[in-house]
Amino acid sequence: MREPRSIILAVVSAKNDYANQIVLKLARAADKKGTRTLGVITKPDTLIAGSESEAMYASLARNQDVEFRLGWHVLKNMDSETGTWSLADRDIKEEEFFSQGIWGELSQSLLGIDTLRKRLSKVLLGQIASELPSLVNEIEIKSDDCRRRLEKLGEPRATLDEQRLYLLHISQLFQSLIKAAVDGTYNDPFFGDAKSEPGYRKRIRAVVQNLNLDFAERIAKRGHHRQIVDSPGNTSIPKGVTSITREKFMDHIQHLMQRTRGRELPGTFNPMIVADLFLEQSAPWEEITQSHVKKVWKAAKEFISLTTAYVADPATAKALFQKVFQPALNQRMDCLKAKTAELLIPHKTSHPITYNHYFTENLQKVQSKWCEDEYTEIIQKFLGVPSLKSVHLGSHKDFRPLVTALMRRPEPDMNRFACSEALDRMEAYYKVALKRFVDDIAIEVIEAKLISQLNSIFSPITVTSMAADLVDSIAGESEENRAQREQLTKQLDILMKGSETCKHFIGVRVLGTGNGTVAHLFKSASHDPSDSDEESDDSALEDVKLPPDEPTEIMFHGVIREECSPVIEVARKEPSPAREEWGEECAAVRGSPHLEPEMETGYFKGWPSEISE
């Protein structure tokens, strides 16, 4: 009922109130606008003549209560308890019933089985004519899908050469898609819609770029072990980072310096103290980096899986991923881990090394910041103001004490001074090392050890060097694939024949009648005008007058329907001495009870007046 191309016959019994019959609710649920529903009322003889119930059902038959676009029809069937009766007896009884009482006031087109047959044939004809274009389009879509699935299955692969050839074809397509994705050129239909999740996952360059940016942002926020704050409770600190004041940090450094003291003079520090402080500060790098590398590897694995599923049939794709891609990706993961560990070793074991001027710039900025804060505090104390933003001096003031205070600025504790210097140098070096490390991970690990290697995981060279047993285990066609290819081939053949048939009839329409009977002519899609001696226009339809006073032979091409369900059929008028000029035209005629079929596909003999409109 929910199939939009179907016609719904909503049959209600007059023995019960139609409002209580579930069929109307079901029909309305499937056809909300009532455009393809025809209502049928049965058992009208059970109603009391002149009663309100009879009037209600007569109103329903007029399409006044429950409105359907196709309207309503009333039938009176024989009672099963009546005994033996023929179809002719049934039709006579029905005609007698509808000629009396309120039913005689209704249009005869709404009553009886004979008019219902004709009515249904017209409805079906209209429905078929309106649905044929969309049906042809749907057939084309399904045909394209069959072709695509057959193309993915490839040619039959019984021999080793056929199997290797199939893998060569897959590898070429695989490499082209990998290169396009790595280059960021997403023009192939494979990539789909970027707004969808699968479409985004197929754009591996975009995924890697975004993951690298996330990594840089995350390690910048959470890569340091300690973060200096003015007050530990008043500052928002990222998860995993320890907040500490500068004074507390210097206490920690002083304790470390006392335990690592060498030959340095008071007020100076061992250069290796910066290495120790940096090692503590960069401790979270390894975990954050390994997590990032694993995310990129998983993204590449999912991308390879999607690509494989696109270029190969499901069975081959599964075998290919398990026996070729998974081992290769696992090997890539080992390389990623090894290279990451290699890049982390200098930051863990070696002393700080940099020739980047950014280090001295950072150091000067840090020291300038602390000098600025110290000088500001001294001047505010001298002037007795809380802020230097707006200071009003209403009288003369001696600034010599201010100069003296600024000159006496040096830290009286030489060890604290050394701690401060070491902290400033560690912070400056950390910023330089972090920038270099982020770039190294993106270039030497992600790009060099993974992304640039994806193209070589499965190539024609790989296929050529594969062992015979591996080729057979991957590309050997299973019974399931053979059955699927056979099924798809049959389905495509049926769809193509169906498409040709639908296109053959897509121009059929009902014509009016003149003095003589008018045949509903339809020119076949395969009709060649040059085969006829008569000139023919480009119209798909042509009106042909049938002679009203002589028999006509019409040969039908197609299945002849039962006479109880007359429908439009396609016919070919055979040339005869009387009407040889008709040529080979195709005519659609409605079956008539008077026409007797000699064969399922054969001749109809009868008078033109017997060919109904």
Sign of CA dihedral 363, 369, 371, 372: positive
pLDDT at 525 over 70: no
What's the confidence (pLDDT) of residue 69? 85
Hey, which residues does 587 pair with through a beta bridge? 521, 571
What's the confidence (pLDDT) of residue 607? 35
Q: With contact defined as beta carbons under 8 Å apart, do 285 and 347 qualify?
A: yes
Dist. CA 219–CA 105, nearest whole Å: 89
- Closest of 553, 519, 451 to residue 204, by C-alpha: 451
What is the Cα Rg of the chain in Å? 45
Q: With contact defined as beta carbons under 8 Å apart, do 38 and 72 qualify?
A: yes
Give 500 or 234, the one with higher predicted confidence.
500
Is CATH 3.40.50.300 what the domain over 8-111 is classified as, yes or no? yes
Q: Which pairing describes strands 596-597 and 603-606: parallel, antiparallel, or unpaired?
A: antiparallel
When pLDDT is averaged across residues 89-107 and rounded to a whole number, the result is 85
When pLDDT is averaged across residues 359-370 and rounded to a whole number, the result is 73
- Closest of 147, 151, 150, 137 to residue 499, by C-alpha: 137
What contacts 23, CB < 8 A, 6 or more positions away? 10, 11, 12
Per-residue pLDDT tens for 210-245? 999 999 999 999 999 999 887 776 678 888 899 999
Which string of DSSP letters, residue by residue, matches 344-371? Answer: HHHHHHSPP----HHHHHHHHHHHHHHH
Q: With contact defined as beta carbons under 8 Å apart, do 407 and 258 qualify?
A: no
Query: Where in the chain are the domains?
Result: 8-111, 157-476, 507-610
Confidence of residue 370 (pLDDT cuts 50, 70, 90): low
Residue 75 in tokens: 């039938």
| Model pTM score | 0.55
Helix/strand/coil for 289: helix
Dist. CA 589–CA 566, nearest whole Å: 9
Dist. CA 544–CA 357, nearest whole Å: 97
Dist. CA 380–CA 509, nearest whole Å: 99
End-to-end Cα, the chain, rounded Å: 30
When pLDDT is averaged across residues 254-265 and rounded to a whole number, the result is 85
Q: Look at 21-35, 212-226, 347-361, 377-391 and tell me which has the smallest mean pLDDT.
A: 377-391
The number of beta carbons lying within 10 Å of the beta carbon of residue 285 is 24
Dist. CA 402–CA 107, nearest whole Å: 116
Per-residue pLDDT tens for 435-467? 999 999 999 999 999 999 999 999 999 999 999
Phi then psi for residue 29, to 5 deg, are: -65, -40
In which residue are the tokens 């008077």 written? 594
pLDDT at 76 over 70: yes
What's the confidence (pLDDT) of residue 288? 96
Confidence of residue 470 (pLDDT cuts 50, 70, 90): very high
What's the confidence (pLDDT) of residue 517? 33
Q: With contact defined as beta carbons under 8 Å apart, do 434 and 440 qualify?
A: no
What's the confidence (pLDDT) of residue 452? 94
pLDDT at 347 over 70: yes
Instruction: Order across the sheet with 72-74: list the strands.
Output: 8-13, 37-42, 72-74
Give 170 or 158, the one with higher predicted confidence.
170
Q: Tell me which range, 267-271, 339-343, 379-383, 493-497, is most confidently predicted by mean pLDDT.
A: 339-343
Per-residue pLDDT tens for 275-332? 999 999 999 999 999 999 999 999 999 999 999 999 988 888 999 999 999 999 999 9
The DSSP letter of residue 562 is P
When pLDDT is averaged across residues 589-603 and rounded to a whole number, the result is 36
What's the confidence (pLDDT) of residue 409? 54
What's the confidence (pLDDT) of residue 506? 64
Give 373 or 111, the one with higher predicted confidence.
111
When pLDDT is averaged across residues 332-338 and rounded to a whole number, the result is 96
- Closest of 484, 504, 502 to residue 494, by C-alpha: 502
When pLDDT is averaged across residues 22-34 and rounded to a whole number, the result is 86
Residue 196 in tokens: 């969808």
The number of beta carbons lying within 10 Å of the beta carbon of residue 80 is 6
Measured at the CA of 311, the angle between CA 310 and CA 316, to 5 degrees, comes to 100
Give 597 or 476, the one with higher predicted confidence.
476
Phi then psi for residue 240, to 5 deg, are: 90, -10
Q: With contact defined as beta carbons under 8 Å apart, do 277 and 426 qualify?
A: yes
Phi then psi for residue 193, to 5 deg, are: -90, 125
Mean pLDDT of the chain: 77
What contacts 555, CB < 8 A, 6 or more positions away? 571, 572, 573, 574, 602, 603, 604
Q: Look at 178-192, 249-263, 364-378, 588-602 and tell me which has the smallest mean pLDDT.
A: 588-602
The number of beta carbons lying within 10 Å of the beta carbon of residue 337 is 16
Hey, which residues does 73 pair with through a beta bridge? 40
- Closest of 270, 250, 274, 284 to residue 354, by C-alpha: 274
What's the confidence (pLDDT) of residue 515? 35
What's the confidence (pLDDT) of residue 81? 66
pLDDT at 510 over 60: no
What's the confidence (pLDDT) of residue 319? 92
What's the confidence (pLDDT) of residue 178? 96
Give 292 or 573, the one with higher predicted confidence.
292
Q: Look at 193-202, 225-234, 570-579 and tell me which has the smallest mean pLDDT.
A: 570-579
Residue 68 in tokens: 């359907």
Confidence of residue 469 (pLDDT cuts 50, 70, 90): very high
What contacts 610, CB < 8 A, 6 or more positions away? 592, 594, 595
What whole-number percentage of the chain has pLDDT above 70?
A: 75
User: What are the start-end ranges of the H helices in 67-157?
Assistant: 87-98, 113-153
Hey, which residues does 521 pair with through a beta bridge? 587
What's the confidence (pLDDT) of residue 609? 36
- Closest of 211, 183, 197, 373 to residue 292, by C-alpha: 211
What whole-number percentage of the chain has pLDDT above 90?
A: 31
Measured at the CA of 479, the angle between CA 474 and CA 482, to 5 degrees, comes to 90
How far from 359 is each of 87, 356, 425, CA to CA, in Å?
106, 6, 8
Q: With contact defined as beta carbons under 8 Å apart, do 517 and 175 qualify?
A: no
Confidence of residue 371 (pLDDT cuts 50, 70, 90): low
Dist. CA 222–CA 242, nearest whole Å: 10
- Closest of 114, 122, 14, 109 to residue 60, by C-alpha: 14
Q: Look at 59-68, 131-140, 173-182 and tell me which has the smallest mean pLDDT.
A: 131-140
Dist. CA 565–CA 112, nearest whole Å: 14
Hey, which residues does 544 pair with through a beta bridge? 519
